[in-house]
Amino acid sequence: MKKIILLIAVFCVFCVGALHAQTPVKGLTVTGAYDTMKTVEPTPRFVSKTGELYKHPMVSVTGQVLTTPDRTSCTVTNAHTSTTDYTGSSTTPGTGGLETETESGSNIITQVTDQDGNVYPVVQIGSQCWMKENLRTTHYANGTSIALGSSTSTTTAYRYYPNNSSSNVSTYGYFYNWKAVMQNSSSSSVNPSGVQGICPTGWHVPSDAEWTQLTNYVGSQTQYQCDNSSYNIAKALASTTGWDSSSETCAVGNNPGTNNATGFSALPAGTYYGGFRDFGDGAYFWSATEINGSKAYSCYLGYNYDYVSGGDGSKSYGFSVRCIRD
């Protein structure tokens, strides 16, 4: 009898050990678009320049994004560890911008403030730290004002209301012509561009190479692809609201509620070219890289397209601006 009990005890210990060894990594239970509950294992995470991990969105086996990441900070190697005021005063302009930062093992930027006091959230995508909203400043970092334009120009710095309405600025930011964006800086094709231009101190206008780095990174991550194609990444960068509807598979305007897996939140502000167009249809962003004396490179997302394109625009046009951290 004692031998039988001993054998049973040994067998039970073996069973428990085997079960423990086969226990999977803890997953995420999701409901909603499924008839029955399923468990999806966490996808791999990417690493910032300083080694901090950020979770990717959860993705089903078919590539459907189940949740959107909440990355509201950037890890940088040269951040301050306090709130630094660059804005100056009405009589003594500062160098432009205010950054609120905290430190917990590494330097974390949560937001940046421009010369006007507008506060922008940030998002880290790969190793890049981007403003999560379109720029809406009316002053350069040195306090110089930027005129509100009513016509195109390549020689005078102008800003414009999106769709010709001041009520759109709080959401969509301003348009700026290339003269305003660059603030007399020379074109730059390097990465990083080194062109502060219209951006707050510590931030700069992205070069075409930096836009390419962004799209290359997003395209390399399967969780940001639509239909498992590195080409189809526009939805991952586009906001979930404001876009016209599209029936094209993987297009930004097709089921936009599933957009913005990266958190970049590109908005369809349209453009100004002597008239206003594409409000709700397209997002146009300037780069610091010129093509020739009259044109510069830009980045474009359209409601009816599944890809992000690098285009060219007349320097007299008004496009949106996103700044990137130095």
pLDDT tens, residue by residue, 236-289: 999 999 999 999 999 999 999 999 999 999 999 999 999 999 999 999 999 999
Task: Enter the pTM of the model.
Answer: 0.74
User: Which residue would you say has higher pLDDT here, 249 or 97?
Assistant: 249
> 83 falls in which pLDDT band (50, 70, 90)?
low
Domain assignment present for residue 12? The answer is no
Domain annotation covers residue 81: yes
Establish if 17 belongs to a structural domain: no
Number of independent structural domains in the chain: 1
Note down the domain range covering 234: 34-325
Q: What is the mean pLDDT of residues 49-73?
A: 37
Does 249 fall in a domain?
Answer: yes
Q: Mean pLDDT check: name the lowest of 16-20, 32-36, 97-101.
A: 32-36
Whole-number Å distance between alpha carbons of 253 and 259: 9
Q: What's the pLDDT tens digit per position in 7-22?
A: 444 444 333 343 333 3
How many Å separate Cα 269 from the centre of its chain? 15
87-91, 225-229, 279-283, 317-321: which range is least confident on average? 87-91
- Is 262 inside any structural domain? yes
Domain membership of residue 268 (yes or no) is yes
| Nearest to 199, CA basis, from 166, 168, 176 | 176
Is residue 313 situated within a structural domain? yes
Residue 38 has pLDDT above 50, yes or no: no
pLDDT of 48 above 50: no
Taking the C-alpha atoms of residue 108 and residue 79, their distance in angstroms, rounded to an integer, is: 7
Per-residue pLDDT at 194 exceeds 90: yes
Length of the chain: 326
Chain CA centroid to CA 121, Å: 10
Residue 287 phi/psi, 5° resolution?
Answer: -115, 170
- Model confidence at 76, pLDDT cuts 50, 70, 90, reads confident
Instruction: Tell me, yes or no, whether 8 lies in a domain.
Output: no
Q: Which two tokens stand for residue 80?
A: 């301050």
Neighbour count for residue 294 (Cβ, 10 Å): 13
257: tokens are 């509620």
Mean pLDDT of the chain: 79
Identity (one letter) of the amino acid at 198?
I
CA 283, CA 259: separation in Å to the nearest integer? 14
